[in-house]
Amino acid sequence: MPQLKIIPELFLGNIRVRFAPSPTGYLHVGGLRTALYNYLFARKNRGQFILRIEDTDRNRFVEGAAENLIEALKWCGLQFDEGPDIGGTFGPYMQSQRLDIYQKYVQELISHGVAYYCFCSTQRLEALKEEQQKQKLLQAKYDKHCLALSKKEVEEKLANKDSFVIRLNVEPNHRIIFDDIVRGRVEFDSNNVDDQVLIKSDGYPTYHLANVVDDHLMQISHVIRGEEWLSSTPKHVLLYDSFKWKRPVFAHLPLLLNPDRSKLSKRQGDVAVEDYRTKGFLKEALVNFVALLGWNAGDDQEFYYMEELIEKFTLERVNKSGAVFDLEKLNWLNAEHLRKKSNEDILILLKQEIHHSQFSTLPAGRQVLNYSDSYLLQVIAAMKERVSFVKEYLTKSPYFFEPPKEFEETAVQKNWKPETPAQLKKLSNEFNLLVANPAKEDYEHALHKVAEELNVGKGKLIHPLRLAVSGMSTGPGVFDIVVILGKEETISRINKALEIIKTS
């Protein structure tokens, strides 16, 4: 039989996907990528994007984790259509609130012989595992010991309140086949599939049961999740088939990797979306970057806005192999996105940055530097193509926020000659003669005039001026700096530098 090609258009209007994280802390960038692909796929096909919290492991419960997840998702711009905080027609969206549902369905499984009670102690299970390993059995799995229990025996143990789990009864000797959009056809031998626990002894379901029941009840059309789930998909497929439910379309995404190609982990860098947010990355850049880790449109475009990603995204173009999370490209994308923003948008971000910086309060007697919007807008225009992060407006050009306290040593050696002080003094006198609010050209003409009178190249004045006024040897054109600082401040800084550098 030829492999059925899944054409998204056929599902138009019925596309429903979900991001189903377990609330164990923060939103992992790998999780973001999974959520993003789900979101893009849903938006592209006018479907719904659902958030479901898989909190069925009480041992790993972390206070506030679900809230963090939601907050991080929203920050990234991934707005879901149904979820725990906003509700929806298929709720509740927290699995811990759906326990009775799982009970109902697992009973149905039991009545059909697809699932069974198991009263084995952990000791017996451990002993069994040990024994199987000793015998070098091909694969260790449960021996179906409790499947042999009679109905009466089961009832007695249940009445006796013996501790139990409910297991999936996997029939041996057959092939389990399913199609995956990114992997193609995948086959497993049922002999390699364990009688997985469906309901734990605490009454909570395992992921395998809960995920299948919920995806069906929530009418999920496409299960788009990480590759780590590929190996347990046969269990899920068995469940769908046993219930006689339609299987969703599966798409297992490649993993995100550390630079050494191991699974992306905290030990080798930041993995939480929150980490990148506090480091000053723009959400646009993070989303753009993560989208390209495992997917591309087939053309040469690298810079994307969310809207373009939605327009171009298809699951068929998702890669099969894992991708290293490489900061270099993220940095570049951040710079690109930052530069593409309007100065007004950057102004908002810069003001937030200043608010959290050492420059949030003006030093006394420095009123000449006011952080008015128009002033900051000039700083932005001057520095825009020189920064990759908003915070660099402060770290790369601190001189726009306070007079230089130190002067770059190497620049002093290179540009501060014995004749420099006299020349700069003359320049500052010339500046002093300028009109009240000199324009860039006024400063240029003044400097040109002084250079001619001194019979020196303009560079002999420009470099010392830059140094005097900024303390640095790099940055925007000196005349741009000087115009932004203003006449008074410029002259004051020249004089101050003359004092400091002379004495050193």
The catalytic residues are 266
CA distances from 81 to 183, 248, 440 (A): 28, 19, 53
Token representation of residue 490: 């410029």
Q: Are the C-beta atoms of 102 and 94 separated by less than 8 Å?
A: no
Token representation of residue 215: 């995806």
**Residue in 15, 20, 181, 354 binding RNA, rule: CB under 7 A:** 20
292: contact with RNA by CB under 7 A? yes
CA distances from 162 to 146, 196, 201, 205 (A): 13, 20, 10, 18
**Residue in 44, 75, 101, 141 binding RNA, rule: CB under 7 A:** 141
Integer Rg of the chain from CA: 33
6: contact with RNA by CB under 7 A? no
Burial (CB count <10 Å: 0-12, 13-18, 19+), residue 7 = exposed
Q: Are the C-beta atoms of 66 and 33 separated by less than 8 Å?
A: no
Q: Which range touches RNA (CB under 7 A), out of 151-159, 191-199, 304-312, 350-358? A: 191-199
103: contact with RNA by CB under 7 A? no
Closest separation between CB of residue 488 and RNA, Å?
21
**CA pair distance 283, 279, nearest whole angstrom:** 11
Token representation of residue 135: 């015998």
- Interacting residues with RNA between 388 and 447 (CB under 7 A): none
- Interacting residues with RNA between 56 and 95 (CB under 7 A): 56-57, 59-60
Nearer to RNA, 280 or 362 (CB): 280
Nearer to RNA, 90 or 229 (CB): 229
Pairing of strands 175-180, 184-189: antiparallel
Nearer to RNA, 372 or 455 (CB): 455
Closest separation between CB of residue 192 and RNA, Å?
5
326: contact with RNA by CB under 7 A? yes
Alpha helix positions (H), 135-255? 151-159, 207-217, 233-243
464: contact with RNA by CB under 7 A? no
Task: Read off the amino acid at residue 177.
Answer: I
184: contact with RNA by CB under 7 A? yes
**Residue in 156, 171, 228, 452 binding RNA, rule: CB under 7 A:** 228
Q: Which range touches RNA (CB under 7 A), out of 15-23, 65-73, 148-156, 425-433? A: 15-23
* Bond preceding residue 2 cis, omega within 30 of 0: no
321: contact with RNA by CB under 7 A? yes
Nearer to RNA, 297 or 362 (CB): 297
**CA pair distance 210, 214, nearest whole angstrom:** 6
375: contact with RNA by CB under 7 A? no
108: contact with RNA by CB under 7 A? no
Nearer to RNA, 114 or 411 (CB): 411
Per the listing, tokens 């937030």 go with 352
- Interacting residues with RNA between 121 and 140 (CB under 7 A): 121-122, 125, 129, 136, 138-140
Closest separation between CB of residue 130 and RNA, Å?
11
Task: State the angle between helix axes of 29-44 and 283-291 in degrees (0 to 180), rounded to the nearest 10.
Answer: 80
Q: Which range touches RNA (CB under 7 A), out of 49-57, 372-380, 428-436, 488-496? A: 49-57
**Residue in 11, 75, 90, 229 binding RNA, rule: CB under 7 A:** 229
**CA pair distance 289, 287, nearest whole angstrom:** 5
Q: Are the C-beta atoms of 211 and 225 separated by less than 8 Å?
A: no
- Interacting residues with RNA between 251 and 290 (CB under 7 A): 254-255, 257, 259, 261-263
Question: What SS3 class is residue 341?
Answer: coil
- Interacting residues with RNA between 158 and 177 (CB under 7 A): 163, 165
Task: Read off the amino acid at residue 84.
Answer: P
231: contact with RNA by CB under 7 A? yes
